[in-house]
Amino acid sequence: MGQTLVHKILGEHLAEGRLTAGEQIGIRIDQTLTQDATGTTAFLLYESMGAELVKTDLSVSYVDHNMAGFGPENHNDHLYLQTIAAKSGAYHSRAGNGICHQVHLERFGKPGATLLGSDSHTPTGGGIGMLAIGAGGLDVAVAMAGGPFYLKCPKVVGVKLTGELNDWVAAKDVILKLLSILTTKGNVGWVVECFGSGAALLSVPQRATITNMGAELGVTTSIFASDEQTRKFLAAQKREEDYRPLAADSDAEYDRVIEINLSELEPMAACPSSPDNVKAVREVSGLETRQVVIGSCTNSSFADLMMVAAVLKGRRINEMVEFAIAPGSRAVLDMLAENGALAQVISAGARILESGCGPCIGQGFSPADGVVSLRTFNRNFAGRSGTKGDQVYLVSPETAVVSALTGRVTDPRDAQDLFGMAYPRIELPDEFAVNDNMIEPPLNQGKVARIEVLRGPTIVVPETPKPLPKNLTSQVLLKCGDKITTDHIMPAGTFLKLRSNVPEYAKVVFNCFNEEGKPTFAQRALELKRRGIGGVIVAGESYGQGSSREHAALCPMYLGVRVVIAKSIERIHKANLINFCIVPVEFADPGDYDNVEQGDELRIGYLLEAVKSENEIKIARADGAYEFAGRLALSERDRQILLSAGLLDYTRSKVDA
């Protein structure tokens, strides 16, 4: 039986274990990326390990999230990241150079290489044939220090793409269609591998849109073959020497196959407030929209924005629509400025945002109360835009720009009738503008640079987790429902600037559930911690979906949370919980979830012994009203990390040994 592309790359990088689905494996990591919202903590933890020079082929520290400097915090982080990267042998991409995923695809990505990033949308690199995986910052720090990355050997769902996209139908519609099939939950332990005659017709930017939003499926990563489309893209980036043809064997067998005929697709929209709440655009057409934003790491490529410029040429944005674009990289912005496309967009009434994450993470450009906002982003979780009760729809650039002209959600295929407009098919240029003067290469390559690392007063070294107790007296601090995202746990937006200061950031854990006039989650948790009582969080399905932000485990750990009990827990968040010594437990019988109430006092006897060797743990309410079993789905390495009081001390002990 032939191999899938996923297993070929895993096999080339296998450091520990066997390529058997469900078994834990360790793989060598060739490249890492961090960004400023997660990178400061990642590098602080990297330093705490005693690590010095990075051991990967290439590591890059990007600044693309927290660029609006309201106060000193963001710039303090930027200076720290710039100087610690120089000292440790990493590249540094300065603020304004672009979004990490877009820039990495353009300037560093290599087919067949492994990439580990402290951002959940790192799988964007799969569009160029990389095995690119999102993880928590501590896992990335270990990889920078030369350690393997551990994961369960995945099952592979083959997505066979046939046919060809019709005019006004985009790659965004492909991934939204797949989200309508697989949804955002139940896909832990899987990888998406796209193949087929339709896949071969998609450009690298189109493929990257699909692999980027594969993160919303909850899969480990997504990948396309490296073929002629890949070679052309790398050649245009003046990196053809990095090209390597790679594909699955012709007789490869997948664990599941889903077939999508591109010729049958129509424009799609993810409706509020989940990326898998997908409908055809024609089903929601006519809704008034007051805001349209085109950008983010999902749809901010040169081809996307050239199409937008062509549609807007000689036209005017609807007077009731606030419209903006955010180019994904400075290179894209340079090219749009050089060829006149930027002038067309500005003349139509657009606002030009920085080449960064911006409104996708609630950093400005929030919509008004009660209005529909169309965005080409990858997530529309409730409140993520920065507006409570927001109505965010995720759509393709084609749907977005036509709707910006009409002021209503509009099927872009109607553009011919409405405006006499033919679809502007955009070909990628033979050469991209290449200007890397905002990417700082490592100093003294091969040696630790003698440089002062700048640490502003808002940068605080994270607290180390406490060892697990033999028995746990605990209280349920919060009972929440299904699909609790890391945005629910740790809000982004204006709070992002606090990420380098855990004691301050921890004050807003579960801020969305706090009620005015009542003690906050953080206040209740710290009171329990003071009394020596462990906090417990109880949740439904797919707890911790969304961003890779490890603060969703790090800050609860600081507040004294010791256990999370849920119906299911998403991959990255579960790893982060273990890394910070919070025990992840799943209900053996999901029906037991209904019995537990917020405020219940729980007894978890023999916690330490169960973590050492058991697959189940007994949990009882203190008054004996109920008892239930929880599953401990832990690898031997997971158990050792928990018993070592987290990944940091575990790694230190391995280095000492």
Distance CA 645, CA 627 (A): 27
Beta carbons within 8 Å of 531's beta carbon, 6+ residues apart:
none
Report helix angle 171-182 to 204-213, nearest 10.
Answer: 30
The β-bridge relationship of strands 289-294 and 372-375 is parallel
Residue 397 near residue 325, CB atoms below 8 Å = no
Distance CA 122, CA 38 (A): 13
Residue 563 near residue 472, CB atoms below 8 Å = yes
Q: Is 261 helix (H, G, I), strand (E, B) or coil?
A: strand
The reported pLDDT for the residue numbered 224 is: 98
Q: What is the pLDDT of residues 268-293, one digit of tens each?
A: 999 999 999 999 999 999 999 999 99
The reported pLDDT for the residue numbered 193 is: 98
**DSSP 8-state symbol, 6:** H
Cβ-based burial of 284 (10 A; exposed 0-12, middle 13-18, buried ≥19): middle
Mean pLDDT of the chain: 95
If you average pLDDT over residues 215-220, what whole number do you get? 95
The reported pLDDT for the residue numbered 219 is: 96
Residue 9 near residue 518, CB atoms below 8 Å = no
The reported pLDDT for the residue numbered 547 is: 85
Range among 386-400, 432-446, 483-497 with highest mean pLDDT value: 386-400
Q: Is 32 helix (H, G, I), strand (E, B) or coil?
A: strand
If you average pLDDT over residues 218-224, what whole number do you get? 97
Share of the chain above pLDDT 70, in %: 99
What band does 334 get if pLDDT is binned at 50, 70 and 90?
very high
Residue 22 near residue 220, CB atoms below 8 Å = no
5-264: which CATH number, 3.10.100.10, 3.30.300.10, 3.40.50.720, 3.30.499.10? 3.30.499.10
- The β-bridge partners of 221 are 191
Residue boundaries of the structural domains of the chain: 5-264, 268-413, 472-656
Q: What is the pLDDT of residues 391-415, one digit of tens each?
A: 999 999 999 999 999 999 999 999 9
Please tell me the CATH code under which domain 472-656 is placed.
3.20.19.10
What band does 42 get if pLDDT is binned at 50, 70 and 90?
very high
In this structure, how many other beta carbons lie within 10 angstroms of the beta carbon of residue 461? 13
| The two structure tokens encoding residue 93 | 């991409």
Question: Which of 58-72, 187-201, 532-546, 586-600 is predicted least confidently?
Answer: 58-72
Q: What is the pLDDT of residues 577-607, one digit of tens each?
A: 999 999 999 999 999 999 999 999 999 989 9
Share of the chain above pLDDT 90, in %: 90
If you average pLDDT over residues 117-128, what whole number do you get? 97
What band does 443 get if pLDDT is binned at 50, 70 and 90?
confident
Amino acid in the structure at residue 212: N
Distance CA 209, CA 427 (A): 16
If you average pLDDT over residues 426-453, what whole number do you get? 86
Catalytic residues: 64-65, 119, 379, 547, 549
Amino acid in the structure at residue 451: I
Whether 655 shows a pLDDT value over 80: the answer reads no
Is 268-413 CATH 3.30.499.10? yes
Whether 74 shows a pLDDT value over 70: the answer reads yes
- The β-bridge partners of 256 are 157
Q: Positive or negative CA dihedral for 37, 42, 47, 48?
A: positive
Q: CA separation (Å) from 363 to 147, 224, 402, 487, 578?
A: 34, 31, 25, 13, 30
Whether 657 shows a pLDDT value over 60: the answer reads no
Beta carbons within 8 Å of 541's beta carbon, 6+ residues apart:
185, 482, 483, 566, 567, 568
Select from 309, 335, 307 the least CA-distant residue to 425.
307
Whether 124 shows a pLDDT value over 90: the answer reads yes
If you average pLDDT over residues 445-469, what whole number do you get? 87
Select from 505, 197, 167, 500 the least CA-distant residue to 307.
167
In this structure, how many other beta carbons lie within 10 angstroms of the beta carbon of residue 425? 9
Select from 402, 437, 407 the least CA-distant residue to 420.
402
Helices (H) and strands (E) in the chain, counts: 23, 27
- The β-bridge partners of 2 are 252
Whether 638 shows a pLDDT value over 80: the answer reads yes
The reported pLDDT for the residue numbered 361 is: 86
If you average pLDDT over residues 181-207, what whole number do you get? 96
What band does 67 get if pLDDT is binned at 50, 70 and 90?
confident
Distance CA 576, CA 134 (A): 12
| The two structure tokens encoding residue 270 | 């993810």
Phi-psi region of 573 (alpha: psi -120 to 50; beta: other; left: phi over 0): alpha
- The β-bridge partners of 545 are 485
In this structure, how many other beta carbons lie within 10 angstroms of the beta carbon of residue 306? 22
Question: Which of 15-24, 491-500, 631-640 is predicted least confidently?
Answer: 491-500
Q: What is the pLDDT of residues 130-187, one digit of tens each?
A: 999 999 999 999 999 999 999 999 999 999 999 999 999 999 999 999 999 999 988 9
Same fold, 5-264 and 268-413: yes
